[in-house]
């Protein structure tokens, strides 16, 4: 006679009943294990079952030795099989920062970073990008994305500015929600009825409002300036500016939210019971779980035990403890045994985690789907990314009908390392945490797009340094090109490593613009950056200026716009500063009328 199916293993039962049944069967050791998230390099397979680990993650650049779809799937599945072999067979949930595509994976589609998508301001495009990202993630067995960032940066000196859709609350909410829905909604015709991939609005709360110089974080001898700093504003302003995207995300079905490193008036968000529990879980009715950021719990107190107890009691449900996860388990176990953390708080946290795991279908489909391999970096996804690039570009200046460029233009000169560099045009969070210059993943560079776009008779001459003196005509004098294109690019960065006090162009970039100006009749400058940069003094040298942000792997989309295949209609998602001493400069302070280009500005062609 067949044994009856346990309720939590029966997909015909409601999620609430399944959660109740499973929770009632769990020991305290198993519950605390579910609240533990560890980085993949810091845990052995046999330890997954021994400590009942609930989640594993890859940090930025956390790829397997074989950075392929198959390599990722095998790695993730090996952790999953270890979890399924435990007494109750509770699957892990594997998470990654797929913030502009599944970009830890070489060959995945790299979409423009959020700042560019803010310029595009297209909710339908956001849904499509979210869904494409989710499908590429699932090809590697990963059902949890630490995105979207719903930060609303108020000071562009912040190194995470490019992760925000813009400085305006309504714009961020308008775009983040369809992206979240795209992540979580299965494509039409899919057999999967559950959440496609779990999205994670972040970082709660006020991460874009920290005061310059308020950060005390030092990593690898780099002192942060804004990242992980202190937000100092009244509660009404905090709520008005930063809370709306979370309210909308909860209404749209978010079941995971990441807490922020930052403080509010000196109190760390990870130990803030009012904002985490009273506001987010109580007032807003958030029924999912709160995940901590990378080792952020450690910053709550110099005493780790105290840090763990205060964070869990404040409302953190799962702790991202990438390295010494066993210390977390010991600390939380002690907290329960000593009565510092109640069993009710543990059960509440685990209930929320299990709800998400059931909602994403992990108990029925825990392993990767090899049939999805072909979607990774597919033609359709790359065309979607190219479309996103086209929509994201903002035309800031266009005199003398410089753009569009005629495809039959006899001589076009191109300069700047960023013109032929996928790593620079993709920015941080691409293959490696900090990103990297060079051909780090397949795609097309801006230069490749230009060379493909022109007529067969046109000449495109590229010199990264802009030294075109060797291009001489029949008279022995340097040739003057019809059009010159200079691509200025920031070096890739992430988080506090991108905090900068001075946003003026480098001396090298200033010299490059001046050098190329001498060799062309018309000069177009394209700026690849994660934020506006000061270029006021150089603007008179330019006939046209294009803000291309961080366009990702499909640089040919830039060429589509330069040569008039599509019209410009992108709009600035951030106020463009005139001088560095204007900072912080945004639509929410009194300085916005002093800008070089206002929020929402953009020329059309």
Q: Which residues are catalytic?
A: 293, 495
Alpha-carbon dihedral sign for residues 508, 510, 513, 517: negative
Round the CA-based radius of gyration of the chain to a whole number and report it: 25
What are the strands, taking DSSP E only, across 179-316? 202-204, 218-219, 222-223, 230-231, 256-259, 263-264, 267-268, 289-291
DSSP helix/strand/coil, 517: helix
Neighbours of 251 (CB within 10 A): 11
DSSP helix/strand/coil, 4: coil
What is the rounded distance in angstroms from the CA atom of residue 93 to the CA atom of residue 141?
10
Are 147 and 198 in contact by the 8 Å Cβ rule? The answer is no
Q: What angle do CA 439, 443, 449 make, to 5 degrees?
A: 105
H or E segment and range at residue 124: helix 123-138
DSSP helix/strand/coil, 96: strand
- How far is residue 512 from each of residues 3, 238, 506, 562, measured CA to CA in Å? 76, 42, 10, 20
What is the rounded distance in angstroms from the CA atom of residue 500 to the CA atom of residue 533?
11
Neighbours of 317 (CB within 10 A): 27
Q: What are phi and psi of 239, to 5 degrees?
A: -65, -45
What is the rounded distance in angstroms from the CA atom of residue 116 to the CA atom of residue 550?
7
DSSP helix/strand/coil, 602: coil
Are 288 and 257 in contact by the 8 Å Cβ rule? The answer is yes
User: What tokens does 391 get?
Assistant: 């929509």
Strands 267-268, 319-320: pairing is unpaired
What is the rounded distance in angstroms from the CA atom of residue 8 to the CA atom of residue 416?
59
> How many helices and strands (H and E) does the chain possess?
18, 19
What is the rounded distance in angstroms from the CA atom of residue 426 to the CA atom of residue 108?
12
User: What tokens does 333 get?
Assistant: 């176990």
Q: What per-residue string of b and e applies to 87-109 under the rule 16 or more CB within 10 Å gives b? A: eeebbbbbbbbbbbbbbbbbbbb
């Amino acid at each position: 006679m067949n044994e009856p199916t346990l309720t939590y293993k029966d997909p015909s039962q409601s999620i609430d009943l399944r959660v109740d049944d499973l929770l009632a069967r769990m020991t305290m050791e198993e519950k605390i294990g579910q609240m533990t998230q560890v980085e993949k390099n810091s845990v052995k397979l046999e330890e997954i079952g021994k400590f009942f680990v609930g989640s594993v993650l890859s940090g930025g650049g956390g790829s397997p030795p074989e950075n392929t779809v198959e390599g990722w799937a095998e790695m993730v599945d090996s952790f999953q099989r270890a979890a399924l072999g435990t007494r109750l067979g509770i699957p892990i949930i594997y998470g990654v920062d797929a913030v502009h595509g599944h970009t830890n994976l070489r060959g995945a589609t790299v979409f423009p970073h959020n700042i560019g998508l803010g310029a595009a301001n297209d909710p339908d495009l956001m849904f499509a990008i979210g869904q494409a990202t989710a499908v590429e993630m699932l090809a590697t067995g990963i059902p949890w994305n630490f995105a979207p960032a719903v930060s609303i940066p108020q000071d562009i000196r912040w190194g995470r500015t490019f992760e925000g859709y813009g400085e305006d609350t309504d714009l961020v909410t308008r775009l983040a929600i369809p992206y979240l829905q795209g992540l979580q909604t299965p494509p039409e015709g899919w057999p999967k009825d559950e959440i496609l991939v779990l999205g994670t609005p972040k970082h709660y709360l006020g991460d874009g409002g920290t005061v310059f110089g308020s950060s005390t974080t030092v990593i690898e001898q780099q002192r942060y300036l804004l990242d992980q700093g202190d937000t100092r504003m009244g509660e009404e302003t905090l709520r008005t500016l930063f809370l709306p995207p979370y309210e909308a995300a909860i209404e749209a079905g978010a079941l995971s939210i990441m807490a922020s490193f930052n403080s509010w008036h000196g109190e760390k968000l990870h130990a803030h019971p009012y904002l985490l529990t009273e506001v987010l879980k109580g007032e807003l009715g958030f029924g999912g779980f709160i995940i901590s950021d990378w080792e952020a719990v450690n910053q709550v107190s110099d005493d780790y035990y105290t840090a763990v107890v205060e964070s869990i009691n404040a409302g953190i449900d799962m702790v991202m403890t990438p390295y010494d996860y066993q210390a977390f388990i010991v600390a939380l176990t002690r907290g329960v045994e000593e009565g510092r953390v109640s069993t009710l708080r543990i059960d509440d946290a685990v209930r929320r985690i299990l709800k998400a795991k059931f909602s994403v279908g992990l108990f029925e489909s825990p392993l990767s789907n090899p049939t999805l391999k072909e979607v990774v970096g597919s033609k359709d996804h790359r065309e979607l990314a190219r479309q996103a690039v086209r929509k994201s570009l903002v035309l800031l200046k266009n005199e003398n009908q410089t753009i569009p460029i005629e495809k039959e233009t006899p001589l076009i000169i191109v300069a700047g390392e960023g013109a032929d560099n996928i790593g620079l045009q993709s920015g941080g969070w691409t293959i490696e945490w900090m990103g990297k210059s060079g051909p780090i993943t397949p795609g097309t560079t801006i230069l490749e797009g230009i060379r493909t776009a022109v007529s067969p008779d046109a000449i495109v001459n590229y010199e990264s340094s802009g030294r075109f003196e060797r291009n001489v005509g029949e008279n022995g004098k340097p040739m003057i090109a019809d059009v010159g294109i200079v691509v200025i690019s920031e070096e890739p960065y992430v988080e506090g490593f991108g905090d900068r006090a001075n946003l003026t162009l480098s001396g090298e970039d200033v010299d490059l613009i001046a050098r190329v100006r001498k060799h062309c009749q018309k000069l177009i400058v394209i700026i690849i950056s994660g934020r506006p940069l000061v270029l006021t003094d150089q603007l008179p040298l330019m006939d046209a200026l294009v803000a291309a942000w961080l366009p990702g792997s499909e640089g040919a989309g830039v060429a589509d716009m330069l040569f008039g295949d599509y019209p410009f209609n992108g709009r600035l998602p951030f106020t463009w500063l005139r001088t560095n001493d204007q900072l912080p400069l945004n639509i929410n302070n009194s300085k916005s009328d002093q800008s070089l280009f206002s929020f929402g500005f953009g020329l059309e062609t």
